[in-house]
Every structure is written in structure tokens, then in C-alpha cells.
Structure 1
Amino acid sequence: MHSSSTSRKPVLSSALKRSSTDSHPKSKAKSPLYEKTIPSAGLLGSHSKTNGVEQTSVTMSTTTRDAGKGALLALFLVTMIDMIGFGIIIPFLTYLVQDLAAEQGVVQVGLWVGLLMTAYSSAQFISSPFWGSLSDRIGRRRVLMIGLVGNTVFFTAFGLSNTLLFALSMRFFAGIFNGNIAVARAYIGDVSTPKQLATRMGLIGAAFGLGFTIGPFIGGEFSSPAERWDLFVGTIFETYPYLLPCLIASILSAGSLVLAYFKLPESIDLERAREDEHLSWGRQMSMIASNSVSMLRTATIGAMIWVSMLFMLGFTVMHSVFILYTEMDPANGGLGFSEQDNGRMFAMIGLLGIFTQATLIGPLTRKFGTRRLIPLSIILTGIGLVMIPYTQTNLVWLQMLLVLSCIAIGNGVFQPSSSTYLTRLARDTDYDLGAVMGAQESLSAFARILGPLSGGLAWELTVNGSYPWDYHTPFHLCGLLMLISGLLTLRLPVMPELDEAE
């Protein structure tokens, strides 16, 4: 058996012998596609045959493949642009559908708004496991660049939509080609030491929040430019009034593509790809699906992914009913907010989340450990979500600041902590990091589809009822989902040696 690098420690057997300090030995045998199982930081594989049977072994390194500032900046931009693409259509989507529906004689405006809102997440639900697993075989860098090319093309194409079907298709393809959040998290896991991991996952979370804040701003400020600026009168931007914000997103994506090409090195051993050459494409896809299903049934990785999915489901239920509640007449129990007031509320959530993930996650992780932060962040978020409908019009901004702080800080701690914990579980089990992150992002995308639908339905069924089955009910549903998510964390294993490493 030959080591893949002469500068590294001697090769260990395919059973992955561990040092005496490791309490989590590997035991599960995997198919050839998944035999080399830990593409984490500082881990390289070697390949051999014994009595004609292929075996894969790993080489442990004492150091990680550290990423430079250019690589981290590229990952930050990739994640931010992914969320810009998700949120950029929110301000003008209804107007775009109304314009195209009027031209085509379509009357189901609400249906098409719903389809276009869910198309992106629906596509990511389908494609994220594929991109995550593909990045384990052909490399993170290639998959990230494919996603950026897709963003560049399909963002612009969406702005050029002249029929509802074309707009829906472009939105769907933009989601299909974009599995970048999962792969970016896997990349961070590859190049980070235990001490760096939580802080760097927080960086990705901050990019997530910033993109969600910037996207709607770009979409609102730069749509219909010919109506506000003479410079655009008589140009293509008058013919296609929603092209400019989409073009801005495409330019940002193209810039990130150039940065990634020059500054983003590969983070895993590409010898891995050669191990799968004897398998047909169909066989590889079948193994990806089978592996994802078995992963979700485990008591470790599967439990953490379900915790994340339920957390995201509760969070997105709030997205669909928050504005319905705040805009409702105070005489009926609402707050009477304007569109501008609600914009400030979401900006507050975004900014508090960015602050948490950029500055607080590192110190909190060192103090409490990743495993403890997960249930604590779920509890804090759940309290904030349940308290939303109990705010009063007196001192409403102070009350909302306290409530939204719970939500933003809880979410800001949960996202990087869950990704950090999953990365560590992947390093300690028989599942590839890209596949794990792909499965997590796929179910998160499913939650972003189901959450708004569930919240809207709960609102319609209860808004005219009496307490507790009234407008409070959707927010109580958020709390229930958070409670279930928190209870599931009891199944998560404690890994004290990893928390000590922080």
C-alpha cells in the first residue's frame, strides 16, 4: 500500500485505526463509491488491491489545508450571492407576474406568484444532495464554479422573461444549478481546524444573512429604472423593467467566478475521482440516493439534519405570517405596520444575525461548546417566535427589538453551530462531508417550501377564531416545531474531546 503523500504520516488500514484517545472508531463497511469516507481537513486517501479486492485507506495529517484570505472571501461571496438570488425577486415578483399575466390573459396571479416563490427552493431540494456528493468526487472548486456560472446565466435570463412559463423555467434552473451553500460549508470543513471551524462557519452564516438583506434591497431599488431615471428611458431596461436588478446579481456572480478561479484552491484530494471511474453514472446516482436515505436514518448525522430541518421549518412559517400579523389592524390584534416598517423589521433581523455570526459565535463556542449551543439557540429562537403576537402597540419598537433579538441571535448561533457539528460528525463517521452538507441543504430547501405554505394555511384557518385558536396559532406552531427540534437534540452524541479542542 502506498501513501498518497510522502510528507504525511504512515497510512492506516481501511478500518481506520485510531489513536488511543479517539473514542469513535469506524466500523461500517461502505460501497466502493463511499469507501474513502472522510474528505475533511488534512485527510488524504490511498488505493490498493488485496487478493483482487479494492481497498481504500486514509492518511491522517496533523495540519489542515488552510485557506487564504482570497479563498475565504470567495466563499463569503458565493454564499452571499446565493441568498441574493433567493431574495432579489421578493419586492417586484407580484408586479412582474401581474405584467406578464395581463399580456397573456392569465387570471391566476396568486398561483403564479406562489409557483415562482417556491421554484428556486424546490429545485435546490432536488439538486443539493447531487451537488454535495459530486463535490466529494470532482472537487469543491469545480462545483462552486459551476454554480456561479449558473447564477450568472439564469439571473440575467430571468430578468429577460416575457412569459410566465419562461420566468418559472429560469427560476427553476437557477435553483437546480445552485448547490453552493452546501458545498461552501463542506469546503470550510475541509480547510478548518477545530478551533477555526465555528468562527468560519459563522462567516458563512454572516454571508447568508447579508445576502438575504441585500437581495430584496437590490430588487426594490433597481426595478423599473426607466420610471425613475431618464438614463434608462428608451433602453432595454424600459422593455424589461426587472432586468437591471437581475443583471446586477449576475455581475456580482461573474465577479465571484473570476475571484474563485484565481483565489480558490481545491480543498480535497482529487485522486478520489479516479476511484469511481469504473462505476457507471447511473450507478453513482443510485448510490448517492441510497446513501442519502441511509444517512437520514442514523441516530447521529440523521438526527442533526432533522433538527436543522425542523428549525428551518419553524423559522420559515414565521416568514409567511409575520407581515400578515404586523400589517393587521390594531383593533383586530395586529400592529398596523406599513411596508416600510416591515422592511425595517427584516433588516433588523438580518443585521442582528450578521453581528452574531461575525462576532459572537467564536466566543460563545469557546465558552459553551458547539453541542451545548445547539439546544440553547433553539430555545432562544422558539421563545422569540412565540412572543411575536403578544407584542403591544405601546412601546412597540422596544418590544419588537427584544423579540427579534431573540430570533436573530438564536438563528445566528444555530446556523454555524449546526454546520460545525455536522462537519465533526462527518469526520467521525462513514459519510462524506459534501454528501452530508448536501442532504442538510436539501431538507432546508424543503422547509423553505413547506414553511410558507403551512404558515399561510394556519393563518387562514384560525385568524378569525378566538384565543388560543386565532392569529396566535401560527406562532404557536413555530414554537411547537422548535420544541420538537430541541427534543431531538437529546439524541445527539456528546463529543467532549472535540469541544475541548475549541
Structure 2
Amino acid sequence: MSARRPAVIFIFITLVLDILGIGLVVPVLPKLVQHYQGGDVTAGSNVYGLLAALYALMQFLCAPLLGSLSDKYGRRPVILISLFGSAIDYFLIAFAPNLAWFVAARIVAGITAANYAAASAYIADVSPPEKRAANFGLIGAAFGIGFIIGPILGGLLAKFGGVKMPFFFAGALTLANWAYGWFVLPESLDQEHRRSFSWKRSNPVGALLALRRFPALLGLVVTYFIAVLAHQVYPSIWVLYTGYRYHWTELQTGLSLGAVGVMAGLVQGGLTKRVVGALGEKKTVQYGLALAIFLYAAYGFATQGWMVYICIFFGSLAGLVTPAVQSLMTQSVPRNEQGELQGALTSLSSVAGVAGPLATTRLFGYFVSDKAPLLMPGAPFFWSSLLMVLSLAIAVPSLKRIHKAPDVV
């Protein structure tokens, strides 16, 4: 293991395999929950929102702990724990006879869900400041590749092997990814940049309060939180929304997510370096947030399935925001606190993951029910559009206060 130097390519492979597993189950999980609710759209939407919120709540409670552990013991052990927890989640759902098993699976997955945070810290470890935006864009590229193959394959497996087959396949793939991490993935955080463990920094409240030491960063953190909250509309209701409004099957949904993957791979893997190089990180954030305002509204107004693909094509450019924001934030925090930063951001994402699914699934369920004053299945997307207006308003002054932190404190 020591013979291998840590590099972005290693963590990129881990992320691709991880996201491929997630992509496999995305087209079928909401409909599987709906099936256990007797096929009722509103009831299925509400229960799915609760399960998503439960996962995010457990992640909120545990992510700072895993982030702090990665600052002390390294990124690799945390990534291995996360992957093993994901495998357990997939197999529990695959064998689930009722929704109680879903609850157990989501709890396990939420407790160990630190792969993205650890991967982000890994990238910060091995990337010089001027290359971080481009390298964080590779996370988006990994999402792209995973979602090109995963949802399409998941839809095919569900069609020909049954609705639970994608979960068996995803579980096996995640175990293979764990084996790759065990035998191949090198550690990125050397001993001299590690720091002692502290319970004060390792709880969600403590991790978030620790960010007060970087006042220039707080506005951008709030911007990030609101953007993540708005983004919850996609994993929360995409399958339910497209199934209800356009009558898409699992395979059609998988194809649409595959299109999302293609565009994400092209934009974040190929355009990030060029756009950020031309505009700079701060302008990239502002333009991307402005574009997202119109993107969410366009999804809500799309009355035909083909319109969704137009939104996917142009809206993918808004994905440039995340690597640019990540780059700015990591440059504002010393190297030996990157794990804590990513843990805090993951906790914030988890708060959004609790509130977002609860809000969007209930908005969707209400506006497709007989109780609504008018039928408006796109209501959750309009809500996300308004959130992005707020995010942009906070980002503009906050970007003026960002500055580079020392390497180690």
C-alpha cells in the first residue's frame, strides 16, 4: 500500500463504483416503497420522504464523527466503513419483506454515509489550490459516469429480473468496491497533517459551531446549504414526478437519469477546468446559481416528457457551482481541518436531506391530490426555484469576503 502515491484517479474509481451502485436503485426504490403502500401515489410519496429524511438524520448525527476520525486516522478507513454500510443497506432492502426492513436499512446507511465527505477531503489532500475546482469537478464526472450506466442498467434489471434485482446487483458491486478500497486505494493524509481527535468537534452542533472561526466562510456555507436544500427535489420526487406526469416506466426513468449522467460527466468532467479558468470560481458560482433559478422553474412548467431532456441539457451547466464552491471553501480552511470541514458540510447536507424530502414529497403529494385547489405536480420545482433566488442573494456579498487560509494550524 505504501508504494502507491495518493492521487485523484484512485478516489475517482472508488466514487464511480459507489455512484454506479446508487444509480442502479434510483429508478426503482420510490416505486418499491409505493408498492408496499398499496400503489397509492400520495401515501408512497409521503413514506418515501420519511425514509429519505431518516437516512439524512442519521447522516447528520454521525458525519462529523466520521469526518473528525478521518482527520486523525486518515481518509481510507472512513471510506471503507462507508462502503460496507452501503452494502448492508442494499442487501437489507433486497431481502425486505416489509417497510420495517427499509427503516433498518436506511439507519445503517445513514450512520455510515461518509463516502462523499471523505472523498472530498481526499481530493483536497492531493490537490494544489489552483487545481481544486477542476479536481472537485471530477466528483461530478464520477456522478455522471455512474448515472449514465447505473439507472439504465437498474431499469433493465428491474424489467427482466424483478424490482429487487437492482438491489442485489448494487450490493455485490459495493462489496467489490470495498475490496478495491482495501487492496488498492492508498491513504492521502500523511502523519504530519493529522490532528488529535476531539468529541467537541465530532458532534453535528460542535462541527458547525467550529466554522465560526472562519467568519468569511459562513455566508458561502449558507449559500451551499440552501442550494443543497433546493437540489433535494431531484432524488425526492424525480421518479414519482415523471411517473405521474409523463407515465414513465422504470426503464424510461433510467434513460432520463442516464442523460443526466452524460451531461454531468461532460460538464463537470470536461468544462469545469475551462469555465473556472476563464471566469474564476466566484463568477462561476454566481452565474451557475442564476441559471439554476430558471432551471427549476422550467422543470415545473414542463408538460411533456421531451421537454425534460431540454432542461437536462441546459441545466447541467448549473452543476459547475458545486466544484467552484467546494474549491473556495477548502481554500478557506487549513489542510489539517479538511475532514472537519467536509463533516460539517455533510451535516448541513443531511439537514437539507431531512427537510428537503419532507417538504418536496408533501408538496408533490398535496398538489396531485383532491385536496389541492389546483393540480400542480411541478410545485416542488417552483419551491426550489425560489430557494435558489435566496441562495444567490446571499452568495453575492459572501463571495467578496472569501480569503485563503494557512496550510496548517
TMscore range, shorter length:
0.7 to 0.9
> Does the 8 Å contact 1:151/1:174 carry over to 2?
yes
Aligned pairs (5 A) from 1:95-494: 96-97=32-33, 112-223=47-158, 242=164, 244-270=165-191, 275-276=196-197, 285=202, 289-295=205-211, 299-317=215-233, 320=236, 336=246, 338-339=248-249, 341-391=252-302, 397=306, 399-411=307-319, 413-427=320-334, 432-460=337-365, 465=373, 473-489=379-395, 490-493=397-400
| Aligned-residue offset at 1:209 | 3.3
Cα distance between partner residues in 2 of 1:476 and 1:96: 27
In 2, Cα distance between the equivalents of 1:161 and 1:456? 23
Say if 2:27 and 2:253, in contact at 8 Å, map to a contact too: no
If asked which structure has higher relative contact order (CA below 8 Å, sep 6+), I would say 2
Structure 1 length-normalised TM: 0.68
Q: Distance in 2 between the 1:94 and 1:385 partners?
A: 21
Structure 2 SS opposite 1:434: helix
CA contact (8 A) 1:206 1:357 kept: yes
Listed one character per residue, the Cα deviations across residues 191-244 of structure 1 (whole Å, up to 9, x for unaligned) are 1112321221111121123334544334433348666xxxxxxxxxxxxx72x4
Q: Which of the numbers 63, 67, 75 marks the counterpart of 2:11?
A: 75
Contact 1:378–1:482 (8 Å) recurs in 2: yes
SS of the residue 2:232 aligns to: helix
| C-alpha RMSD of the superposition | 3.5
Task: Return the offset for 1:421.
Answer: 1.3
> Does structure 2 conserve the Cα–Cα contact (< 8 Å) formed by 1:296 and 1:303?
no
Maintained 8 Å contact 2:45/2:361 = no
Could you list the runs of 5+ residues in structure 1 that have no partner in the other structure? 1-66, 103-107, 228-240, 329-333
Return 5+ residue gaps in structure 2 as ranges: none
Q: Is the 8 A contact 2:19 2:143 kept in 1?
A: yes
CA distance 1:213–1:176, shift in 2 (3 Å): farther
Question: Match for 1:302: what amino acid?
Answer: L
Equivalent AA in structure 2 for residue 405 of structure 1:
F
Alignment check: 8 A CA contact 2:27 2:254 kept: no
Whole-Å Cα distance in 2 between the matches of residues 172 and 446 of structure 1? 15
Shift of 1:497: 8.1
Q: Is the contact between residue 377 and residue 414 of structure 1 (CA under 8 Å) also seen in structure 2? A: yes
CA shift at 1:465, angstroms? 4.2
Q: For residues 384-435 of structure 1, what are the alpha-carbon distances to aligned partners after superposition, in whole Å with 9 as ceiling and x for unaligned?
A: 1122344465xx73x5444322321112x0121121111111138xx81111
Deviations 1:357-402 (A, max 9, x none): 1100011111111122111111112111122344465xx73x5444
Select between 203-212 and 180-189 the one with higher mean Cα deviation. 203-212
Whose helix proportion is higher, 1 or 2?
Answer: 2
Q: Is this contact kept in 1: 2:24–2:154, CA < 8 A?
A: yes
Counterpart position of 1:13 = none
2-structure distance, mates of 1:313, 1:121: 12
Q: Structure 2: which amino acid aligns with 1:366?
A: G
Counterpart of 2:144, as a letter, is G
Paired residues of 1:388 and 1:403 also in contact (CA < 8 A): yes
Q: Contact between 1:101 and 1:164, CA under 8 Å: does it hold in 2? A: no
> Residue 146 of structure 1 aligns to which amino acid in structure 2?
I
Deviation at 1:439, TM superposition (A): 1.4
SS at 1:300 equivalent: helix
Distance of aligned partners of 1:222 and 1:199 in 2 relative to their CA distance in 1, 3 Å threshold: same
Q: 1:247 to 1:317 in 2, by over 3 A?
A: closer
8 Å CA contact retained: 1:85, 1:215: yes
Give the letter aligned to residue 315 of structure 1. H
Taking a change above 3 Å as real, the CA distance of residues 476 and 427 of structure 1, as seen in their structure-2 partners, is same
State the Cα distance separating 1:122 from its structure 2 match. 3.1
Separation in 2, partners of 1:113, 1:472:
18
Q: Distance in 1 between matches of 2:243 and 2:149?
A: 23
Q: CA deviation at 1:182?
A: 0.6
8 Å CA contact retained: 1:383, 1:406? no
Structure 2: distance between partners of 1:275 and 1:450: 33
Q: Is the 8 A contact 2:232 2:356 kept in 1?
A: yes
Larger Rg: 1
75-84 vs 417-426, greater mean Cα deviation: 75-84
